[in-house]
Amino acid sequence: MLKFVEFWKRIKGCYPTYLLFDSKLTTYQNLSQLNQRDIYFITIRKRGTNLLKQALSKPKTAWQECRIDTPKRRFQKVKFIDTPITIKDYEGKIRQLIIKDLGRESPTFMLSNDIKSSARNIITLYSQRARIENSIGENVNFFHLDCLSSDLALNVDFDVTTTVLASLLYRMLASKLSGFESYGPKLLFRKFILSKATVMVTPQAIKVYFSKRSHNPIVKAAALDKTAPPVTWLGNRRTLLIYP
Q: Which helix (H) or strand (E) holds 99?
A: strand 94-100
pLDDT, tens digit (0-9, with 9 covering 90-100), for 141-177: 666 655 555 555 555 577 777 877 888 888 899 999 9
The confidence score (pLDDT) of residue 9 equals 93
The confidence score (pLDDT) of residue 80 equals 94
Please, are residues 61 and 79 in contact by the beta-carbon 8 Å criterion? Answer: no
SS3 212: coil
The confidence score (pLDDT) of residue 75 equals 63
The confidence score (pLDDT) of residue 33 equals 95
The confidence score (pLDDT) of residue 144 equals 63
The confidence score (pLDDT) of residue 130 equals 59
Share of the chain residues as helix, strand and coil, in percent rounded to the nearest 5: 40, 20, 35
Query: Per-residue pLDDT averaged across 116-138, rounded?
Result: 75
Cα angle value 163/190/244 (rounded, 5°):
120
Q: Which residue has the higher pLDDT, 86 or 48?
A: 86
pLDDT, tens digit (0-9, with 9 covering 90-100), for 55-86: 989 999 999 998 887 655 566 788 999 999 99
Q: What is the pTM of this model?
A: 0.58
Please, are residues 15 and 38 in contact by the beta-carbon 8 Å criterion? Answer: yes
Domain ranges of the chain: 2-127, 134-181, 195-242
Least confident piece of the model among 98-112, 125-139, 168-182, 224-238: 125-139
